Amino acid sequence: MQTHIHPQLAGRSDVKEAEDILRACVHCGFCTAVCPTYQLLGDELDGPRGRIYLIKNLLETDTIGESAAGHLDRCLTCRACETTCPSGVEYGRLLDVGRGLAARKVAPPLMQRLKSWLLRNVVPRHWLFKFMYRTGRLLRPVMPGFLQSLIPTAENPHFESTSINQPQQRALLLGGCTQDVVTPGVNSALESILTHGGVEPVTLAGEGCCGALQYHMSDHAGGLARMRQLLDRLDPILNDVDVVISSASGCGVTLKDYPHLLEDDEVYSHKAKRLAEKLLDATEFIDTMTPLPCETATVAVHTPCTLQHGQRLSGLIERVLTRWGMTVVPVRDAHVCCGSAGSYSIMQPALSSQLRENKVSALQASGADHYVTANVGCQMHLDDLERRQSIDHRAAGGSALVVEEHKANQDRRQPMKAEPGPTHIRHWLEFLAGQLS
């Protein structure tokens, strides 16, 4: 796809990168068929190929209208289109550049700006997020439905670790700013599995945020600053550990991308590469371990987009669980996003709720005794299924336009039959630690 960059944008390294990505696209449209927003809305401009045209136009004219910016905002950044693209178009990176440029031209509605500001300024500040989350749990019974739906009700389990005399390896566990507050049971589970396998876990007090949330919400400078802060904290202890493990795939996909995002930074590109050399998702590390004795069970897996499309580790949770003695049953439309997508459930509640309903129905139709996932965002979004389904119908009223579009496109959706099933979805590490015998 040939592009004539607007003189105002020529010379920018991100624009040059976007131009190179655009050149790889051959307009075949294979990506459109797998796009969740295209499936829901039926508009070419709410699919990857349409969005690619909108970004091309933005690069050529250095202008964008509200309507076009809305099509970019409705993208989940699930990257299912990247997995499908035969030409290797790096759509996720292109969208990051496009959204960053669009944010200079179009101011979102006041409520969207307020939500965006709160997310970018509260979640990455661990102490503030912890305070607000705990206060929110206390006040949840008197909150409006759409706020209630953001606060999980499940209690966090704790898993016992065992002492190790001569560890085979030392592993630095990353807690992440959200997971550490909302689902601390995940790293407790990981510690339990590792210690039972002879691996010594190490944690870093005051670890901080990886910058993913700010970066993907078009605050590139703020996101990059967080990445540099985290690298400053991690770099001094990298020599003392054999591996760095991320148990939140949403953080892991960005951490693995640090060398690319910081490649123009002379100081931090080196630190980013040092981290990347030791970084593994928990799934990858446990795949290297000898399976421990476990109680067997039947499990359905929802693999987060950040793991299957972002980190290209599709099918790995299923493989590990099978090796550890579980029966894994298939889930319909497993490649489709659940609607969590970082901040998406807050910024685009109507589309997000529809995707959650579809995912819940697909999980329930699997017939499994347990549902698992691998990222705190998906877990919060899908957990407590029955309660959320009743709240969703009230919460979805936040975007009348999109709801109308949904109604107009009802015939495009395949009806899914929901069967009764488990009411909770857990992180797969919590599930596995609970099965250790």
Q: How far apart are CA 332 and CA 116, in angstroms?
A: 33
Torsion angle, alpha carbons of 333, 85, 48, 217, to 10: 90
CA 219 to chain centroid, in Å, comes to 17
Shortest Cβ 83–ligand SF4 spacing (Å): 9
Shortest Cβ 53–ligand SF4 spacing (Å): 10
Q: How far apart are CA 285 and CA 179, in angstroms?
A: 19
Q: What contacts 362, CB < 8 A, 6 or more positions away?
A: 331, 332, 333, 334, 416
Binding site for ligand SF4 (CB under 6 A): 25-31, 34-37, 47-49, 51, 75-81, 85, 87, 89, 91
Closest to ligand SF4 by CB, 228 or 335: 335
Closest to ligand SF4 by CB, 87 or 153: 87
Shortest Cβ 32–ligand SF4 spacing (Å): 7
Q: How far apart are CA 356 and CA 178, in angstroms?
A: 20
Closest to ligand SF4 by CB, 81 or 217: 81
Closest to ligand SF4 by CB, 174 or 346: 346
What is the three-class DSSP state of 63?
Answer: coil
Shortest Cβ 67–ligand SF4 spacing (Å): 17
Shortest Cβ 326–ligand SF4 spacing (Å): 29
CA 127 to chain centroid, in Å, comes to 22
Q: What contacts 29, CB < 8 A, 6 or more positions away?
A: 49
Shortest Cβ 21–ligand SF4 spacing (Å): 9
Q: How far apart are CA 130 and CA 120, in angstroms?
A: 15
Q: Say how many CA atoms lie within 13 Å of 152 toward its Cβ.
A: 23
Closest to ligand SF4 by CB, 185 or 310: 310
Closest to ligand SF4 by CB, 38 or 129: 38
Phi, psi of 422 (to 5 degrees): -60, 155
Shortest Cβ 305–ligand SF4 spacing (Å): 7
CA 298 to chain centroid, in Å, comes to 25
- List strand residue ranges (DSSP E) for 147-236, in order: 169-174, 199-202
Shortest Cβ 363–ligand SF4 spacing (Å): 20
Closest to ligand SF4 by CB, 18 or 35: 35
Tokens of 426: 């857990």
The β-bridge partners of 245 are: 173, 280
Closest to ligand SF4 by CB, 28 or 202: 28
